[in-house]
Amino acid sequence: MSIDPSDAAAKATAPVRFRLQPIYRLGIAALSGSVAIGSSGAALAAVHSTAPELAVQLAQAEGSATKAMAEGEGEGEGEGGKASILRDDSLYLARLGLIRGHLTIGVDLYRNGHREAAATHMKHPADELYAGLKPALDVRGAPGFAEALQQLAEQVEAGTEIAAVEEAFAAVEAGLEAAASAVPKTQRTDAEIRFGVIIQLLRTAAQEYAVALDNGQVVNAHEYQDALGFVRVARAELDALRADDKQMQRAGVAAAVEVARTQLDGIADLWTDLMPPAQLDRDPGRLFGATARIELAASAIQ
């Protein structure tokens, strides 16, 4: 289906606010045994103290996380469901975050001597994610950074010195920041938009991690690493929100941030190192559950 550039541009100028929809289908209750509730559970209870139907909704979610993973439910990497990356700022920023996640992990692997693994992470953003991002860059009048991506990939593939790779990576980072700046700062730093980005990143991370493991065996190291990269970027977004005093004063934000912080801390052990062991006794459902709890808490932001 072709896109009329003039129509796309007109739609892109319309203000879009990401409205969070609690993803009960991912099975919050079913995962409560593997995700420690702790202080985040108290925060969840506080922000939803006026919603007596919550317990019923959580109970109805039981068992659905496993079904969701089996059916491949969710947006997948770079997908946005019915929403459009041309108009939805959170989807657009999340796509930039996915690219950053790939490259951050790739450079980290390179620093640690895993050059072949690093190269695979450099190819994916240019081959797939950037192509889908290009129309959104054009609609927003944002500068592209395809050349910087290509140069970074070439440096890694050539096995150049780490200093040259770091320099190429810095150029891509500058391109990512310039592309993000096409979203007005008031939108880019808005707590709901930021949580939208965080949740998109975590949903994708959960899907990738589920692909990486099969009955306690790591069958796809690349996806294991992708998930780690996306979670790292999500954590950086959360840290930026925590440092924003104005947004933290909004109703529901501080509680949602506390839930997110606790949940991310609780899943840190899903990754033992950059290069995974052959066997890893971890439950991918924990990442789906953490994502669901974060989205539920964020839905109370006013």
* Average pLDDT along the chain: 80
Contact 117, 275 (CB under 8 A): yes
| Dihedral sign (CA 90, 92, 93, 95) | positive
Average pLDDT value for residue range 113-124? 92
pLDDT of residue 71: 36
Q: Is the pLDDT of residue 91 over 70?
A: yes
Q: How confident is the model at residue 123 (pLDDT cuts 50, 70, 90)?
A: confident
Residue 55 token pair: 């317990």
pLDDT at residue 130 greater than cutoff 50: yes
Region of 216 on the Ramachandran plot (φ > 0 left; ψ -120 to 50 alpha; else beta): left
Of 231, 200, 209, nearest in space to 283 by CA = 209
Stretch 142-150: mean pLDDT, rounded? 95
d(CA 116, CA 132): 26
Tell me the residue type at 31.
L
- What is the pLDDT averaged over residues 287-300? 97
Where do the domains of the chain lie?
19-298
Q: Answer whether residue 228 shows pLDDT above 60.
A: yes
Residues above pLDDT 90, as percent of the chain: 68
**Across 222-245, average pLDDT:** 98
pLDDT tens digits for range 274-284: 999 999 999 99
pLDDT (0 to 100) of residue 83: 58
Give the pLDDT mean for 250-260. Answer: 98
